[in-house]
């Protein structure tokens, strides 16, 4: 009798193993897509790896395959920008997108990622709400209104970051936590990224996303506050070469900006006023443009009355100085002492004025 029971148990275990899902199945329905095919891809080391391809019929498609563990993947459509991120694991995943929004259901990793996505969506909605008000204030040159909108958005971001931080702490040793930090690390300063990385457990740190964060920390450390700013050379509007170290002053402000950048142009009057007040006391400014159109760059310098030294390699976002300093958003600033040591980063408005006043008192 015992042998029969053991045989039944063994057969049940075998059946369960056969029924366990050995791969993933992604079922999608995306309305408004006019292309005939979709692909499921991953990105690593600036390379694209295609995991699966599918035909699209009336917005519907399906991917199948197998992955080792959890990995971030994207559903992309030829000729379309961006993609739909999914936390891919060997389970059933459904993706539905229409005018009402995007809904993704999958495994535990996807459920956790959805919580982070909700926080991010809230920020984006508030940004869209405030953007129209900011543009109107910029057109009317209402500096007080622009400043108030920036401060309001700053508080919104701060509250969202606090929620995200609590979610990270509660799920610190997950692939998703590492992915969320890695996805935002281009917007983080050295100290903030170090703090976020320290939250991760050993498994998360050992993931591909965790290793990418460690690499970024090592890169940011070279231009962190307290380090000597690495030199670079660009070309002036007059066609002459000029380097960061050519600029001499007790305090130096390196201002990364562009003619097409609304917030940069909105901040320029504050920088002009700062320069006029503190240049006699030892302040010098070096404007480094991320323009790729020389005429627009030169016109903006004249229109905004930017009466300090300027340089650019006219490569836009491929600017070598911007890459050297890991600049991913502008306006961006560096405050240096007379020996090119970095004192502060990304100060603007009143905060920048107070710091310059403190250094040149």
What is the tens place of the pLDDT at every residue in 77-135?
988 888 899 999 999 999 999 888 899 999 999 999 999 999 988 888 888 888 888 88
Q: Look at residue 319 and tell me whether its pLDDT is greater than 90.
A: yes
- Across the beta sheet with 37-44, the strand order is 47-55, 37-44, 71-76, 84-88
Which has the minimum average pLDDT: 17-31, 75-89, 103-117, 227-241? 17-31
- Across the beta sheet with 24-30, the strand order is 60-65, 24-30, 92-98, 101-105
The number of beta carbons lying within 10 Å of the beta carbon of residue 15 is 10
Rounded Cα distance, 340 and 135, in Å: 35
The pLDDT, as a whole number, for residue 287 is 98
Over the chain, what is the mean pLDDT? 90
Question: Backbone phi, then psi, for 178, in 5-degree steps?
Answer: -65, -40
The pLDDT, as a whole number, for residue 99 is 83
Model confidence at 21, in pLDDT bands (50, 70, 90)? low
The pLDDT, as a whole number, for residue 35 is 87
Q: Where are the domains of the chain?
A: 2-105, 109-221, 233-261+271-348+355-359
The pLDDT, as a whole number, for residue 12 is 39
Q: Please write the tens of the pLDDT for every residue from 152-171.
A: 898 998 999 899 999 999 99
Q: Which residues pair with 256 in a beta bridge?
A: 288, 332
The pLDDT, as a whole number, for residue 13 is 39
Tokens of 120: 């991010």
Classify each residue of 283-316 as buried b or exposed e, where b means 16 or more C-beta atoms within 10 Å of its C-beta. Answer: bbbbbbbbbbeeeebbebbeebebebebbbbeee
Question: Across residues 304-311, what is the average pLDDT?
Answer: 97
Per the model's pLDDT, the better-predicted residue between 239 and 44 turns out to be 239
Q: Please write the tens of the pLDDT for every residue from 240-265.
A: 999 999 999 999 999 999 999 999 99
Q: Give CA separation, 204 vs 21, 166, 197, 212, 239, in Å.
A: 24, 16, 9, 11, 49
**pTM above 0.85?**
no
Classify domain 2-105 at the CATH topology level.
Immunoglobulin-like (2.60.40)
Cα–chain-centroid distance for residue 35?
A: 28
Q: Look at residue 315 and tell me whether its pLDDT is greater than 90.
A: yes
The pLDDT, as a whole number, for residue 293 is 96
The pLDDT, as a whole number, for residue 133 is 87
CATH superfamily of 233-261+271-348+355-359: Glutaredoxin (3.40.30.10)
Percent of the chain past pLDDT 90, that is, above it, reads 75
């Amino acid at each position: 009798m015992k042998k029969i029971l053991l045989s039944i148990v063994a057969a049940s275990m075998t059946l369960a193993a056969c029924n366990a899902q050995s791969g993933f199945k992604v079922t999608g329905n995306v309305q408004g897509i006019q292309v005939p095919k979709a692909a499921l891809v991953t990105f690593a080391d600036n390379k694209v790896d295609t995991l699966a391809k599918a035909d699209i019929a009336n917005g519907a498609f399906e991917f199948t395959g197998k992955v080792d563990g959890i990995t971030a993947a994207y559903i992309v459509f030829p000729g379309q920008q961006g993609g739909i991120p999914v936390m891919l694991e060997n389970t059933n995943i459904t993706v539905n997108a229409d005018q009402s929004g995007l809904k993704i259901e999958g495994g535990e990793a996807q459920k956790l990622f959805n919580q982070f996505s909700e926080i991010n969506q809230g920020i984006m909605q508030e940004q869209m709400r405030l953007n129209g008000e900011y543009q109107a204030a910029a057109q009317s040159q209402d500096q007080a209104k622009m400043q108030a909108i920036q401060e309001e958005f700053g508080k919104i971001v701060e509250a969202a970051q606090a929620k995200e931080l609590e979610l990270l702490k509660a799920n610190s040793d997950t692939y998703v936590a590492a992915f969320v930090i890695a996805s935002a690390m281009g917007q983080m300063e050295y100290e903030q990224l170090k703090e976020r990385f320290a939250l991760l457990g050993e498994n998360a740190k050992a993931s591909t996303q965790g290793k990418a964060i460690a690499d970024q920390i090592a890169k940011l450390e070279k231009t962190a506050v307290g380090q000597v700013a690495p030199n670079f050379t660009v070309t002036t509007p007059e066609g002459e070469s000029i380097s960061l170290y050519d600029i001499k002053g007790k305090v130096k402000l390196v201002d990364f900006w562009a003619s097409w950048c609304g917030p940069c142009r909105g901040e320029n009057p504050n920088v002009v006023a700062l320069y006029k007040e503190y240049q006699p006391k030892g302040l010098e400014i070096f404007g480094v443009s991320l323009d790729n159109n020389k005429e627009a760059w030169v016109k903006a310098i004249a229109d905004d009355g930017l009466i300090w030294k300027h340089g650019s390699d006219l490569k836009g976002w491929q600017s070598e100085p911007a890459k050297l300093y890991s600049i991913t958003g502008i306006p961006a600033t560096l405050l240096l002492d007379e020996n090119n040591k970095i004192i502060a980063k990304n100060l603007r408005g009143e905060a920048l004025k107070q710091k310059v006043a403190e250094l040149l008192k």
